[in-house]
Amino acid sequence: MVLKFLRKWWRIFLMAVLLVAAIQFFVRPPGLPLDQFAGGVVTSLFRPVYESVDFVRQRVSSVWSGYIELVDVSRENAELRKEVAELREKVAESRDAVLENRRLEELLRFSKTQGKQMVGARVVGHDVSPWFQGIFIDSGTGEGLETGMAVVTPAGAVGRIHRTYPDLSEVLLLTDSRFAADVIVERTRVRAIAEGMGGNLCRLKYVSQTQDVVQGDRILFSGFDGSMPKGTLLGTVVSVDRPRDGLFLNIRVVSEVNILSVEEVLVVPARPAIPFRGGKP
Amino acid sequence: MRPLLVLLALSFAGTAMNVWLLSGFLPWFLLPDFSFLAIVYSGLFLPGPLGLLVALPPALFREVTISGPPGSFFLASIAVYFAASEIGRRIFLRAEIFILLVVAGLLAAESLSVVLLLVLEGGNPFSFLWGAEEAVRIAWTSLIAVFLFMDLSGRWQRIQE
């Protein structure tokens, strides 16, 4: 009877088993030996994806700057077209390099001012799903990166390393709902827990209605939970609501870093003080 | 072999395009989930072990490019394959409206499951605007599926004949 049932509906049965396993994988803490094995497979699979992505990006960028901008210039300067085109072409060729150089110099300066050795990395991809917010960077366990390490830019924090592979890491952005960290308000030193809420926003939790937090306040990581470097900028308060029935303020913070436009980041290679569990410290 | 290569190419190109386009060019809800489409197609139209073989690479692509907990999206994608395979065997009719309903239904079911798990975990990043955007993504991906699946299944049929 049971065998007959299973023979007829084995696909449904298998689907249920897979879904239960998927849910188990969803809620378990990362770091099992299976993850290390999967890491090798993942890196070899993802490398061609981001290499082809990088190749197309470079080509489109050179076409954009080398052709389309020249068309604009020629329209505006018909008499000097040839001369301007030559100059523009040279500028266009070097513009990307100059901008990249400037960004890297800024990262280096920031790294020195922090007094810590940091690992620089390039952003090579973005999470494609609607549910999570993550980016991929081109440094991994080979450079000594570990899960839980903080990822920053001179403008502010970006997130934390979520998964590492030999030469690739996945960064959980601070706007992802699984991100949480201890923060303080710069002006009044009020403490709170920052949690990602999608888009470019975070919310501050557990701030009492009596506390002094206003729009425009800058929010810094406190470093008390050991998950992010103390004093790193999270963002600026954009709204503070005082609900009539609630105990706490509803505070929204916009991230200081425009995460979609970040191209290079720095990883702070300090082990998190508290073991990293699935995004939340 | 041909279905495997075509669907692998479709899945790879779609995934690579999405990874690149997300870098500030297009909002996420305008990007169809090509890997998901390749998995559903293999479940609906490709019989036996060939279907499962074809579904494996796009399932791995999804695992790689979605920053969910390790392993969860690979298993969920294979579960989607078996769901599509069961639908294909029992109730599926090769018509545009069925393709639209099946793809939209599976996408919505997956999305609701992930949202439910995240909410149960304590996070709540979803708003009315996010819901509207997700509806656009589901509708857009399902519409593309109709044209893609009809075209591909027609081509396989002609090759088999």
Tokens of B97: 């409206």
Instruction: Decide if B71 and A260 are in contact by the 8 Å CB cutoff.
Output: no
What Rg, from alpha-carbon coordinates, does chain B have? 16
Instruction: Decide if A177 and B12 are in contact by the 8 Å CB cutoff.
Output: no
Give the pLDDT confidence score for residue B108 in this predicted structure.
Answer: 92
Secondary structure (H, E, C), chain B: CHHHHHHHHHHHHHHHHHHHHCCCCCCHHHCCCHHHHHHHHHHHHCCHHHHHHHHHHHHHHHHHHCCCCCCHHHHHHHHHHHHHHHHHHHCCCCCHHHHHHHHHHHHHHHHHHHHHHHHHHCCCCCCHHHHHHHHHHHHHHHHHHHHHHHHHHHHHHHHHC
Give the pLDDT confidence score for residue A58 in this predicted structure.
Answer: 64
Mean residue pLDDT across chain B:
81
Q: Which of B133, B113, B148, B111 has the alpha carbon at shortest distance from B34?
A: B148
What is the band of A280 on the pLDDT scale with cuts at 50, 70, 90? Answer: very low
Name the minimum distance, in Å, from the CA of A50 to any CA of chain B. 7
- Closest Cβ–Cβ partner in B71, B89, B113 for A25: B71
Q: Which of A62, A89, A121 has the alpha carbon at shortest distance from A262?
A: A121
Probe site for chain A from B8, B11, B28, B64 (most A CB atoms < 10 A): B64
Q: Is A104 at the interface with chain B, CB within 8 A? A: no
What are the tens digits of pLDDT across the range B84-114?
A: 888 887 776 677 788 888 889 999 998 888 8
Residues of A in contact with B139 (CB under 8 A): none
Q: Is A172 at the interface with chain B, CB within 8 A? A: yes
Probe site for chain B from A28, A43, A129 (most B CB atoms < 10 A): A129
What are the tens digits of pLDDT across the range A67-117?
A: 656 666 556 666 666 676 666 656 655 666 777 777 777 777 666 666 567
Give the chain A residue whose CA is nearest to the CA of B9: A49
Q: For residues A204 and A251, is the Cβ–Cβ distance under 8 A?
A: yes
Q: Number of residue pairs across A and B with CB atoms under 8 Å?
A: 150
Give the pLDDT confidence score for residue A281 in this predicted structure.
Answer: 42
Kindly report the number of other CB atoms within 10 A of residue B151's CB atom.
9
| Distance separating alpha carbons of residues A175 and A109, to the nearest angstrom | 26
Q: Which of A182, A169, A183 has the alpha carbon at shortest distance from A134?
A: A169
Please list the alpha-helical segments (H only) found in A115-213.
Answer: none
What are the tens digits of pLDDT across the range B33-44?
A: 888 888 988 888
Torsion on CA atoms A57, A62, A64, A66, rounded to nearest 10? 180
pTM, rounded to two decimals: 0.72
- Closest Cβ–Cβ partner in B18, B117, B134 for A26: B117
Question: Above 90 in pLDDT, residue B17?
Answer: no
Q: For residues B75 and B47, is the Cβ–Cβ distance under 8 A?
A: no
Q: Enumerate residues 32 to 71 of chain A having a beta carbon within 8 A of any beta carbon in chain B.
A: 34-35, 38, 41-42, 45-46, 48-50, 52-53, 56-57
Instruction: Decide if B61 and A131 are in contact by the 8 Å CB cutoff.
Output: no
- Tokens 């293999």 -> residue: B42
A36-45, B59-68, B90-99, B102-111: least confidently modelled range: A36-45
Dihedral-angle region of residue A223 (phi above 0 means left; psi in -120 to 50 means alpha; beta otherwise): left
Torsion on CA atoms B147, B153, B155, B160, rounded to nearest 10? -170
Q: Which one of A3-7, A74-78, A170-174 scores highest in mean pLDDT?
A: A170-174
| Distance separating alpha carbons of residues A165 and A145, to the nearest angstrom | 9
| Distance separating alpha carbons of residues A124 and A165, to the nearest angstrom | 14
Q: Which residue has the higher pLDDT, A3 or A81?
A: A3
A161 membership: H or E segment, kind and range: strand A156-165
| Distance separating alpha carbons of residues A110 and A226, to the nearest angstrom | 20
Backbone φ and ψ for A209, nearest 5 degrees, come out as -65, -20
Backbone φ and ψ for B85, nearest 5 degrees, come out as -65, -40
Q: Which residue has the higher pLDDT, B17 or B101?
A: B101
Q: Is A213 helix (H, G, I), strand (E, B) or coil?
A: coil
Residues of B in contact with A27 (CB under 8 A): 69, 117, 121
**Rounded alpha-carbon distances, angstroms, from residue A242 to A27, A39, A120, A156, B17:** 33, 46, 41, 27, 43
Q: Is A254 helix (H, G, I), strand (E, B) or coil?
A: strand
Residue at A93: amino acid letter: E
In degrees, to the nearest 5, what angle opens at C-alpha A17 toward C-alphas A15 and A22? 90
Give the chain A residue whose CA is nearest to the CA of B85: A11
State mean pLDDT over A134-147: 85
What is the band of A63 on the pLDDT scale with cuts at 50, 70, 90? Answer: low
What is the band of A238 on the pLDDT scale with cuts at 50, 70, 90? Answer: very high
Tokens of A4: 């007959």
What is the band of A261 on the pLDDT scale with cuts at 50, 70, 90? Answer: confident
| Distance separating alpha carbons of residues A160 and A181, to the nearest angstrom | 10
